[in-house]
Amino acid sequence: MSEIARLIPRLSGTERLILDLLRESELFGLQLVDRSEGALKRGTVYVTLGRMQDKGYVESRTEPLPVGAIGLPRRWYRPTEYGMRVLDAWTVAAKSFAQTQEMRTGAA
């Protein structure tokens, strides 16, 4: 792998979707699943969010449980500035490659 390739942060399609959904507001995992219209699954969203937190793309906070509540508290996620910069860079790159592909194929 070249030195330049090592400097470029990786961002999977699922990670891009999550960052895009978090762009407007802080959400918890099941809200992300609901708003993804079937693209995110309950079984993988939390694994992906944990990986994204390790990469510095998102940060989270735990909601305090109300008095007398049972169960686990919700964990709310929001994008970091770094995460949004990575998403924006990948968005620009994707648009550039799409335009290049259109030019190569002669698409209007």
User: Using 50, 70 and 90 to split pLDDT, how confident is the model at 101?
Assistant: low
The residue among 86 and 3 whose pLDDT is bigger is 86
Domain ranges in the chain are 8-105
| Portion of the chain with pLDDT greater than 70, in percent | 87
Q: What is the pLDDT of residue 1?
A: 55
Give the length of the chain: 108
Half-sphere exposure of 2 (CA within 13 A, CB side): 3
The residue among 97 and 4 whose pLDDT is bigger is 97
- Phi, psi (deg, nearest 5) at residue 48: -65, -45
Task: Give the architecture (CATH level 2) of 8-105.
Answer: Orthogonal Bundle (1.10)
> 15-47: per-residue pLDDT in tens?
999 999 999 999 999 999 999 999 999 999 999
Task: Indicate if the alpha-carbon torsion angle 30, 36, 40, 46 is positive or negative.
Answer: negative
